[in-house]
Each structure stands twice: as C-alpha cells, then as structure tokens.
Amino acid sequence: MAGSVDGSIIDFTAVDTVKQFPLGTEKSATDGNTYVYIEADEALDQYAACRLLEDGGSDELTTTNSGAVPTQVVVPQVAIASGSFGWAVAKGLSFSVLALANCAADVKVYTTATAGAIDDTATDLIQGLRLNAANGGSTAAVNATAVSYMRTNAQD
C-alpha cells in the first residue's frame, strides 16, 4: 500500500535490504495509520504483533519478551526477513493483527506464548489495541484499531 506523505509517495509495503530511512522514522499516511520504519532482528510474519526496541530493531512479541517495563508494540502489514527493513503500524484506524482462535472483539487483548499473536486471555496487556471483529476457530489476521500508540506494561 502506498500513501502520500508530505507530498511524496511512500510504499508502506516495501521491504528493503538496504536501509532507506533512519530507524524510528514515523510517517502518517492517508489511510489513517501511523507507520514507523524498523529493522527486523528476526523474520517478522505479516500482521505479527512485534516489540519495537530502542535501537529501531524489532522482534515478534511474546509473553517472555514483552518485558517488565513499558514496551512499544508495532504491527508490520507485510512479512519482513531478518536483517531487512520495512514499515510497521504504530497506531491507526484500520490494520490487521494476528489473533489466536476465538479472540473476542472490543475487549482487552494481551501478549501470548505464540510469537506475534495476541489473545483476550493471556499475560501482558497491550494497551491501546482492540480488535474490530472476533476471530474464528484458528489463528488469523483480524482487523484492529489503535487510536494511541500500543504499549505493553504501561498500566493494567
């Protein structure tokens, strides 16, 4: 998906093997989402909930790496290979995120032991994130909204 930003066109689905922007660069797009430019410290699945590290790197979020301190959460809308660069949603009106089976809509969501997937009955709260629809019988991408930056361990 391309979006117009500051009069220029940025392809927020592009994956780069060479860094094209400073890590942590944020851009608001015409789709109502704010994207941040990241480096994949490991292979990131499409729609996986990921933690954004202080150095601009990112890995898939789990209950074991969400940390005891506030951690920013981002969601790439395309798969990003380890060591490559791309854009991930930091907040927005409509994007997809991986949710475990039977995760309900419009409730608090949490990190899980499944890398990159969220659920409504797990461990660390992901503040600011909500699903717009319930998930069915298997882990799948579900439409979501985050009207503020998504964080774990901000306050439960």
Q: Which two tokens stand for residue 87?
A: 């854009």
Under a CB-based contact definition with an 8 Å cutoff, are residues 72 and 34 in contact?
no
* More confident of the two residues 68 and 89: 89
pLDDT for position 137: 83
Mean pLDDT score of the chain: 92
Amino acid making up residue 156: D
Is 60 exceeded by the pLDDT of residue 3?
A: no
- Residue 92 lies in domain: 2-152
- The amino acid present at 34, given as its one-letter code, is T
**Residue scoring higher pLDDT (83 or 138):** 83
pLDDT tens digit string along 100-125? Answer: 999 999 999 999 999 999 999 878 99
Would you say 49 and 116 are in contact if contact means Cβ atoms under 8 Å apart?
A: yes
Q: How many domains does the chain have?
A: 1
Query: Residue 155 pLDDT > 70, yes or no?
Result: no
CA distance 45 to 42: 10
pLDDT above 50: residue 5: no
